[in-house]
Amino acid sequence: MSRTLFRTKNVEQSIQDTEEPEHALKKTLSALDLTVFGVGVIIGTGIFVLTGKVAKENAGPAVSLSFVLAGVVCALAALCYAEFASTVPVAGSAYTFSYATLGELPAWIIGWDLVLEFALGTAVVAVGWSGYIRSLLDNAGWHLPAALGGREGASGFGFDILAAALVLVLTAILVLGMRLSARVTRLVVAIKVAVVLIVIIGGAFFINAANYKPLVPKPQAVPAGSDLRAPLIQLIAGWAPSDFGVLGIFTAASVVFFAFIGFDIVATTAEETRDPQRDMPRGILGSLLICTALYVAVSIVVTGMQHYSDLTVDAPLADAFKAIGHPWFAGVISFGAAIGLTTVCLILLLGQSRVFFAMSRDGLLPRFFSRVHPRFKTPHRPTVLLGVVIAVVSGFTSLSELAELVNIGTLFAFIVVAIGVLILRRTRPDLHRAFRTPFVPVVPVLSVCASLWLMLNLPTETWLRFAVWLIIGFVVYFLYGRSHSRIGQEQRAAVRSAGQPGNDTV
C-alpha cells in the first residue's frame, strides 16, 4: 500500500497536463500582475491595527525590527516557492510541488489543507470587510436591519448580507476571466497603497523623536498559560514568552508574521503566467519586499506619533491621529482598510479555486471540476461551487475564533515546500531551474525551523482543530481520491496490459 500512497507525479507529466485543451488555463499574467496580487493579499487591516498593537504589548518602538525579522523569515519560504513555481509552472502551488516530491497522499493532505486555509480565510476577511462597510454606512446615517448584519451579537436570525454579496460578486469577476481579475486588482491595490502612503507621509509630520525612547523597553516576564488557549510549546515545555526587551522583539515577530501571509498564493497562478520562469520569482519576492517596506514605515510612524504605552489596541493608528487633533485620518484609514480587504478576498478566492482545480485534474477530486470555461478559459465550476459555499458560510457564521486555522495551514505549506526543494534537488538535479534557491540546504532548513517554531507558538486548540480537519481529509482520500487518482488508474491499466508490476512514478 505504501507504494501507492507515495507514488509521485513527475514534473514533465504535470506540465503536459496543462496542455490539454479542455483543462488548460489561459496565460495572461505578467510580473506586474503577480506583484500586485501579492501586495493585494498581504496588505490588509493588519497594517493599520497590528503595527500599534504589538508595539504596545510586545516590542515598543522596536516593533519595526520585528517586522524586518518576520520579513526575513517569510523571505526564506519565498525563495523556496520561487524555485518551485518557476520550475513547475502548474496551478496548485504547494499541492503540485508536493505531488512531484513527497507523493500522492502528502500532496492530497497539503491540497486539502490549502482549500480549508483559503476558503476559511476568505470567509473571515469577508466578515471583516462587512464590519468596516457597516461602520461607514452608520456614519452616513444608513443602517442595515439587525437580521442582515451578521451573527456577531445577533439574538435571533442573523445573516451577513454584505459579506455574502462581496464573495458572490468577486466569484463572478473570477469566472469572467483572469485579465478582468487582474485589472480590478490593479485598480484596488493602487487605491489601497495610496491610502497607506497618505497615512505614512501625513503621520511623518507629527513624529516626536522622544517617543522612540527607550527603543527597546525593559523586558517583562509573561506567565505561562495552562489551558487549550495557551501556545502548544507552553504546554509541552512550560516555556513562556517575554514581552519587551530583545526577546520581546522575537515575540512580536511571531505575531506580525501572520500579517505577511498571502505571498504564497502568487504561486497558485504559475500556470496562468506568460513567462513563469522569469516572472514568478519577481512577483513573489517583489511583493514581499514592497509589503515589508510598508509595514516597517507604518510601524515607525505610529510609534513616533504617540508613545507606545499610550497606543490603543483596537485602532492604534486611527486613535494616534485623533490624539494629535486630526480625526479625519480615521476615516481615511477605515476607507483604506475596506478597500484593502476587497482584494484580499478576491485573491484568496483565486488561490483556493486553482488548488481545487489542480486536484480535480489529477482525479483526487471529481474530474467534473477540472474543465475550463470554453470562452473565458477559467475553472468556472470550482470557482462557483466554492464561491457559493463561502458566501453562505460568511453570511451565517462568526469565524473569528477559527481565523488561526489559516495561519497553521499556511505554515504547514511552507514546511512542505521547503522540504520539497531539498528532495527535488536530490532526485531531479537535471531539471532546468530558471531560479535557484540560494544556499541550499541552509535556506530550506532554516525555513522549516522558523515555520515549525511559529506553529508551536499557536494555541493548542488550533492544533486540535487542524488535526480534526486532516483526519477528515484522510477519510475523503481513502474513500474517493485513492481509487480515482489518474496516476493510479494509469498504473493499473499498464499492469493489466503488460501483466507485470507498474512503476510508482508516472
Specify the range with the lowest mean pLDDT, choosing from 79-83, 180-184, 239-243.
239-243
| pLDDT of 502 strictly over 60 | no
| pLDDT of 296 strictly over 90 | yes
Which pTM value belongs to this model?
0.88
What's the number of CA atoms in the CB half-sphere (13 Å) around residue 325?
2
Per-residue model confidence as pLDDT tens digits over 243-291: 899 988 988 888 888 778 778 889 999 999 999 999 999 999 999 999 9
Per-residue model confidence as pLDDT tens digits over 391-405: 998 888 765 555 566
The pLDDT-based confidence of 295 (bands split at 50, 70, 90) is very high
> How far does CA 60 lie from the centroid of its chain?
27
DSSP 112-129: HHHHHHHHHHHHHHHHHH
> What does the alpha-carbon distance between residue 488 and residue 499 come to, in Å, rounded to a whole number?
16
Query: At 239, which amino acid appears?
Result: W
Question: Which homologous superfamily is 2-222+232-458 in?
Answer: Amino acid/polyamine transporter I (1.20.1740.10)
| pLDDT of 463 strictly over 80 | yes
Beta-bridge partners for 220: 243
Average of per-residue pLDDT across 451-466: 86
Predicted local distance difference test score (pLDDT) of residue 151: 57
- Decide: residue 193, CB within 10 A, 0-12 exposed, 13-18 middle, 19+ buried: buried
> How far does CA 242 lie from the centroid of its chain?
27
Specify the range with the lowest mean pLDDT, choosing from 155-159, 402-406, 455-459.
402-406
With beta carbons less than 8 A apart as the criterion, state whether 248 and 60 touch.
Answer: yes
Per-residue model confidence as pLDDT tens digits over 326-381: 888 878 887 888 888 898 899 999 999 999 999 999 999 999 999 999 999 999 99
Average of per-residue pLDDT across 67-85: 93
Q: Where do we find the cell 480537519?
A: 469
Helix (H, G, I), strand (E, B), or coil: what is residue 87?
Answer: helix
The pLDDT-based confidence of 231 (bands split at 50, 70, 90) is confident
| pLDDT of 495 strictly over 70 | yes
Q: Percent of the chain, pLDDT > 90?
A: 50
Predicted local distance difference test score (pLDDT) of residue 408: 84
| pLDDT of 109 strictly over 80 | yes
Helix (H, G, I), strand (E, B), or coil: what is residue 505?
Answer: strand
> What does the alpha-carbon distance between residue 150 and residue 489 come to, in Å, rounded to a whole number?
46
Per-residue model confidence as pLDDT tens digits over 92-108: 889 999 999 999 999 99
Q: Could you tell me where the beta strands, DSSP code E, fall in 187-296?
A: 220-221, 242-243
Predicted local distance difference test score (pLDDT) of residue 506: 46
Per-residue model confidence as pLDDT tens digits over 177-192: 888 899 999 999 999 8
DSSP 199: H
Using alpha carbons, select from 310, 19, 36, 407 the residue that is nearest to residue 186.
36
Predicted local distance difference test score (pLDDT) of residue 210: 95
The pLDDT-based confidence of 241 (bands split at 50, 70, 90) is low
| pLDDT of 503 strictly over 60 | no
CA distances from 101 to 77, 152, 246, 446, 489 (A): 17, 43, 39, 19, 20
First to last CA, the chain: 17
DSSP 410-474: HHHHHHHHHHHHHHHHHH-TTS--SS--SSTTHHHHHHHHHHHHHHHTSBHHHHHHHHHHHHHHH
Average of per-residue pLDDT across 184-209: 92
Report the chain's mean pLDDT, rounded to a whole number: 87
Q: Percent of the chain, pLDDT > 70?
A: 93
Q: Could you tell me where the beta strands, DSSP code E, fall in 204-272?
A: 220-221, 242-243
CA distances from 368 to 159, 371, 409 (A): 31, 6, 26
Helices 94-101, 104-139: axis angle to 10 degrees equals 170
With beta carbons less than 8 A apart as the criterion, state whether 111 and 15 touch.
Answer: no
